[in-house]
Amino acid sequence: MLQPLAAAFATDSYTLSSGATLDIDEHGVCRDVYNGHASGASIMVPTKTAAEWSTGSYAFLNALPPGVAAGACAPPTLAFTDADKNGNNSAFYSYNNMNIGTASSDRHVVVIFQMQSNTAGAVASAMTIGGITATKLVSSINVETETSFWIANVPTGTTANIVTSLSATAVRSGLHVYTLKDLQSATPYATSTSTAALPQDLSVSVPAGSAVIAGTYADSCPGFTWTGLTEDNDQAMETSRRGGAASGTYTASGSQSISVNGTSCLLPTSALAIWK
């Protein structure tokens, strides 16, 4: 079930300083607004109502001041950077020297952590990425399997040790690593989970200028097939136990048909998150 993390209320207006660019998403219309007005002054962008922002001949977007431009909202910069697995029994996993891409002050590292335990309800309980405490964003649990998403702002370095503590011993684990830059917020716009039998329907309604990451794990599974997203990784974590990940970016808002399938897969658990 898709879980929006915040109700949407229109902001009365935005103030944009000279030379600045801002994604403004109001009343179902997202635009990347640039203030290049010759005066060098800040501008006020009215957005309280659709008539002020986007609808009608007097709306801001339909009567742009000279030097002001409004283009399509760009999604966050998304990259899949690494993956690994470990078939050892442990309540503590350290994946060392994982690729986290190019250093940047606005780089957020997203980790999909997948595990299976002989203890029902066991979960990943804490994670650090390059020594920085990560926040657990979403968890999908199916008896003894879990897929969880974690995020941390990691501004320096090109590799990092990713260390995870569990609530009970797991018999195997694996992870998939992504980076996100140019985020409006590290908190997802929405999340979704499923433990239904495959194929799982993970369809969502995405806002303009968004990035989607999804992950799935299952026991006794030969592999996964994704629709609606680009598969980034599909790894056998131990014999036929598999973890997979997929992602996509969107410049326009709308419903996206997303699903993951596999043959004779047991205890499937999937999670999905959307960022702007």
Residues 83 and 55 in one domain: no
Number of helical (H) and strand (E) elements in the chain, helices listed first: 1, 24
Minimal CA–CA distance to 273: which of 191, 185, 217, 152?
A: 191
Residues 115 and 230 in one domain: yes
Q: Output the average pLDDT for the chain.
A: 93
Residues 66 and 92 in one domain: no
Residues 247 and 191 in one domain: yes
DSSP string, 183-220: -S-SS-SEEEEE-SSSSEE--EEEPSSEEEEEEEEEES
pLDDT at residue 2, as a whole number: 47
Residues 145 and 22 in one domain: no
| pLDDT, tens only, 135-193 | 999 999 999 999 999 999 999 999 999 999 999 999 999 999 999 999 989 999 999 99
pTM for this prediction: 0.85
Q: What sign has the CA pseudo-torsion 48, 54, 60, 61? A: positive
pLDDT value at 5 more than 50: no
Residue 64 structural domain? 2-72
Last residue of a domain, one of 57, 72, 87: 72
